[in-house]
C-alpha cells in the first residue's frame, strides 16, 4: 500500500519544514524535492503501458528516492519556477526547456495515481484568480466588497463617485526582479482625481473600502477550521505592510453559517486547504459582519498562534488519518 508523502517545494520553506517534521515524528516516509532541480540534483524515469493504472518509475534527489507508485500524498507547497532553472539560456531555448519541464516532469507529478494532493497545483492555479474568488464567494452567499475590475478611467471615476472611499489592490504579487528580490504592492486607498489614461495599460482591481472593526485570518485544512483576529498598530488598512512582530492575535470563533460556506467554497474549487482573509464590520459572532476579502489557496500559516494545531491537521490529511472533505 502506498505510504510516502512527496513534498514539492523550494529549499527554504519554513512552512513545509513544520509539516515534514510532524511527518518524521510519525515515522511517515517523506521525500522532499524541488522540480526545478531537474538535472544533476533531480532525475526521474517514468513508464506507462497498455492496461496500467498509473505511471511507474522512480524520482531521485540528492538524498532520497521514491517509487512513483508508492506516493500516497503530495504536499504541493512552493516549488521554484522552472524558469529559474533555465534562466541563463537564450530566450527561445529557455522558453522551450521551461515548457518541456512543465509538461514532462510536471505532467507526471500532477497525475500520480491514487495520490491525495494538498492542494493540486492545477486547482491552485484556478483558485488564485481573484475575479473567480469573488464570484464564487458572492454566489455562495458570502458578503463581499463592491468591486470593479477595469482599465477604463471613466468607469473607475464612476465607481469612486458611487462609493466614496476606494482602495486598489493588485491581482498578484510583483514578480522577482533582476536582483532576485520581489517587491510588494499593498492594498491602498486611492484618489479618483489621480485616475488618468495610464489606467488603460492594464486591468485594475478597485473595491469600496469596508468600514471594518477588525481583520480575521481563517485557515481551513480538511474539516478543521482555525481563526485568528489580527490587530495592527495604528489600525492600518492592510495589516501585512507593517512589522508582523507587532501584530496582536486573538482567537476567533467562526459563526456556523460562515464556516459551512468556507467548506463549500473550497469544495467548489477542488481545494483541501485555504487561507481566508475577512474584514469584520461588527462583532465576530454575527455572520453578517464577516466580509470576504480573498482566499489564498497556498497561503502561509507558520506565523500564526495556531501553527502547531494546523501542522497536525496537515499531517493528518497527508497520512489519511482524516478523511478529505
Encode the chain (325 residues) as per-residue pLDDT tens digits: 668 999 999 999 999 999 999 999 999 999 999 999 999 899 999 999 999 999 999 999 999 999 999 999 999 999 999 999 998 899 999 999 999 999 999 999 999 999 999 999 999 999 999 999 999 999 999 999 999 999 999 999 999 999 989 999 999 876 666 655 666 778 889 999 999 999 999 999 999 999 988 899 999 999 999 999 998 877 677 777 767 677 888 999 999 999 999 999 999 999 999 999 999 998 888 999 999 999 999 999 998 999 999 999 999 999 998 877 7
CATH of region 146-208 = 3.30.1490
CATH 3.30.1490 domain extents, the chain:
146-208
CATH class of 211-302: alpha beta
Measuring CA to CA, how many Å separate 117 from each of 39, 226, 269, 302? 25, 20, 13, 20
Please give the distance of CA 325 from its chain centroid, rounded to a whole number: 18
Q: What is the pLDDT of residue 77?
A: 95
Residue limits of CATH 3.30.470.20 in the chain = 211-302
Contact present, 231 and 177 (Cβ < 8 Å)? no
Comparing CA positions, the residue from 1, 28, 207 lying closest to residue 114 is 1
Q: In whole angstroms, how far apart are CA 123 and each of 21, 34, 118, 268?
A: 26, 19, 10, 10
pLDDT at 23: 97
Q: In the chain, which residues fall in CATH 3.40.50?
A: 4-118
- Class of domain 4-118 as given by CATH: alpha beta
Amino acid at each position: 500500500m502506498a505510504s510516502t508523502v512527496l513534498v514539492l517545494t523550494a529549499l527554504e520553506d519554513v512552512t513545509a519544514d513544520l509539516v515534514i517534521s510532524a511527518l518524521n515524528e510519525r515515522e511517515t516516509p517523506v521525500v522532499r524535492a524541488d522540480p526545478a532541480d531537474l538535472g544533476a540534483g533531480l532525475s526521474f524515469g517514468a513508464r506507462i503501458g497498455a492496461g496500467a493504472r498509473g505511471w511507474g518509475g522512480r524520482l531521485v534527489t540528492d538524498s532520497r528516492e521514491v517509487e512513483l507508485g508508492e506516493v500516497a500524498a503530495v504536499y504541493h507547497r512552493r516549488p521554484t519556477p522552472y524558469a529559474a532553472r533555465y534562466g541563463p539560456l537564450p530566450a527561445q531555448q529557455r522558453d522551450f526547456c521551461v515548457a518541456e519541464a512543465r509538461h514532462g516532469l510536471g505532467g507526471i507529478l500532477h497525475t500520480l495515481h491514487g495520490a491525495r494532493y494538498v492542494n493540486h497545483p492545477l486547482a491552485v492555479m484556478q483558485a488564485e484568480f481573484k475575479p473567480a474568488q469573488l464570484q464564487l464567494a458572492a454566489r455562495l452567499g458570502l458578503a463581499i466588497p463592491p468591486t470593479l475590475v477595469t482599465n477604463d478611467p471613466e468607469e473607475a471615476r464612476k465607481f469612486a463617485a458611487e462609493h466614496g472611499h476606494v482602495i486598489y489592490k493588485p491581482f498578484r504579487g510583483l514578480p522577482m526582479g533582476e536582483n532576485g528580490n520581489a517587491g510588494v504592492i499593498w492594498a491602498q486607498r486611492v484618489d479618483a482625481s489621480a485616475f488618468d489614461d495610464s489606467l488603460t495599460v492594464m486591468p485594475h482591481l478597485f473595491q469600496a473600502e469596508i468600514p471594518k472593526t477588525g481583520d480575521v485570518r481563517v485557515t481551513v485544512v480538511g474539516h478543521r477550521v482555525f481563526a485568528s483576529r489580527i490587530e495592527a498598530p495604528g489600525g492600518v488598512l492592510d495589516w501585512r505592510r507593517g512589522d508582523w512582530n507587532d501584530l496582536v492575535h486573538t482567537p476567533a470563533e467562526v459563526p456556523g453559517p460562515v464556516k459551512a460556506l468556507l467548506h463549500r467554497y473550497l469544495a467548489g474549487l477542488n481545494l483541501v486547504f485555504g487561507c481566508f482573509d475577512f474584514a469584520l464590520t461588527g462583532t465576530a459572532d454575527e455572520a453578517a459582519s464577516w466580509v470576504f476579502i480573498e482566499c489564498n489557496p497556498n497561503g502561509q500559516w507558520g506565523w500564526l498562534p495556531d501553527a502547531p494545531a494546523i501542522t497536525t491537521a496537515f499531517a493528518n490529511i497527508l497520512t489519511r488519518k482524516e478523511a478529505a472533505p
